[in-house]
Amino acid sequence: MSKDSYHVAVVGATGAVGVEMLQCLAQRGFPVGKLSALASARSAGKSLDFGDKKVTVEELTADSFAGVDIALFSAGSSLSAEFGPHAVEAGATVIDNSSAFRMDDSVPLVIPEVNPQAAREHKGIIANPNCTTIVTLMGLYPLHREFGVKRIVASSYQAVSGSGAQGIAELKEQVDLLAKGEHQVHPNIYPRQIAFNVIPIVETITENGYTKEEMKMQNEGRKIMDHADFQASTTCVRVPVYRSHAVAVSGEFEKTITVDYAREVLEASPGLEVMDDREHALFPTPLDSTNKDDCLVGRLRSDLVFDNGLSFFIVGDQVRKGAALNAVQIAELLVS
């Protein structure tokens, strides 16, 4: 796929990730010759910003992909499963942000800084990993490449924007009510009050007691790193933060790993910024990574439980690098 400009479709263009995809395409100068912004019938006719231009939203149908070269999907797994094949049949390459195709053996699961070669092995569809997996592997994979990761224990601190615009609205509403002296709020999106609280993410618990969200770290990590023996014990938690996920990771490695050597490896890794100033207690926070392309890693220290172990803390904007930017970077691989 190599030409001067491309017909790009963004499916789910009015959602948080869809809007971010439009921003990333414009900001990174992707060679868009024609842009189709697709969404539900109720959003058709709306106007969205695309750089210094405006684009009108069109209704998503099975016939929306005529002439489309690349289709960026962020409309949920059911719509991806329904309309993704229509896009491929029309000749487009689909880059899908949902979970619909991630564990399909015929579909590459790609983080461009980790396994860019996999993007060229697609059969019409390329999957974007889970946002927490992306943020974690941005720090873990460079260490794996150098030291060989065996297993990790991880805890994620996931922002409410991971639940979409409604998660942000619920947190804001609850904070406003409590600040006005209300003593009780009525959760809607979340099972418990999210304001001034943290909530284990337990939407779907599997037979082993872990949730589907928690198992993604191991299952997707194995596929992306091509590492069938990788093990991950993960606890996912929703926190009262608007944007950007954080993950605390303790890993065990095959080779001897030191903090200084690990820092050198991480500092040389693309898409990653080391923020690890012990003297001034300067370490990454979600606010530091919000609206940034790079993930930030710090709190580097030898793990006290694992042999050849290292613990670290990594943050990343899950709407951007954890979703929209990663998809656009995959598109850049296809046209490079």
pLDDT, position 28: 97
Predicted structure pTM score:
0.96
Tell me the per-residue pLDDT of 21-59, one tens digit each, with 9 for 90 and over: 999 999 999 999 999 999 999 999 999 999 999 999 999
Q: Strand 272-274 vs strand 295-302: parallel, antiparallel, or unpaired?
A: parallel
Three-state SS for 129-183 is CCHHHHHHHHHHHHHHHHHCEEEEEEEEEECHHHHCHHHHHHHHHHHHHHHCCCC
pLDDT, position 1: 67
pLDDT, position 307: 92
Residues of the chain with pLDDT > 70, as a percent, come to 99
For residue 86, count other CB atoms closer than 10 A to its CB.
17
Residues of the chain with pLDDT > 90, as a percent, come to 96
Tell me the per-residue pLDDT of 242-269, one tens digit each, with 9 for 90 and over: 999 999 999 999 999 999 999 999 999 9
pLDDT at residue 65 greater than cutoff 90: yes
Mean pLDDT of all residues in 123-134: 98
227 is annotated as an active-site residue: no
pLDDT at residue 204 greater than cutoff 90: no
Check: CB of residue 302 under 8 Å from CB of residue 263.
no
Check: CB of residue 276 under 8 Å from CB of residue 300.
yes
Identify which of 251, 248, 262 has the alpha carbon closest to the alpha carbon of residue 307: 251
Q: Which two tokens stand for residue 280?
A: 């001034």
Burial class (CB in 10 A: 0-12, 13-18, 19+), 25: buried
Identify which of 61, 64, 67, 11 has the alpha carbon closest to the alpha carbon of residue 34: 67
Q: How far apart are the C-alpha atoms of 59 and 286, rounded to whole Å?
A: 35
- pLDDT top residue among 4 and 56: 56
Tell me the per-residue pLDDT of 237-248, one tens digit each, with 9 for 90 and over: 999 999 999 999
Per the residue annotation, which of 131, 144, 236, 295 is the catalytic one? 131
pLDDT, position 90: 98
Per the residue annotation, which of 7, 122, 144, 245 is the catalytic one? 245
In this structure, what are the phi and psi dihedrals at residue 91, rounded to the nearest 5 degrees?
Answer: 105, 5
Please report, to the nearest 10 degrees, the dihedral formed by the alpha carbons of residues 228, 96, 236, 213 taken in order. Answer: -70
pLDDT, position 165: 85
pLDDT at residue 291 greater than cutoff 90: yes
Segment (H or E) for 279: none
pLDDT at residue 322 greater than cutoff 90: yes
Tell me the per-residue pLDDT of 151-180, one tens digit each, with 9 for 90 and over: 999 999 999 999 988 999 999 999 999 999
Mean pLDDT of all residues in 210-237: 97
Q: Which two tokens stand for residue 259?
A: 């903090």
131 is annotated as an active-site residue: yes
Tell me the per-residue pLDDT of 302-317, one tens digit each, with 9 for 90 and over: 999 999 999 999 999 9
pLDDT, position 321: 98
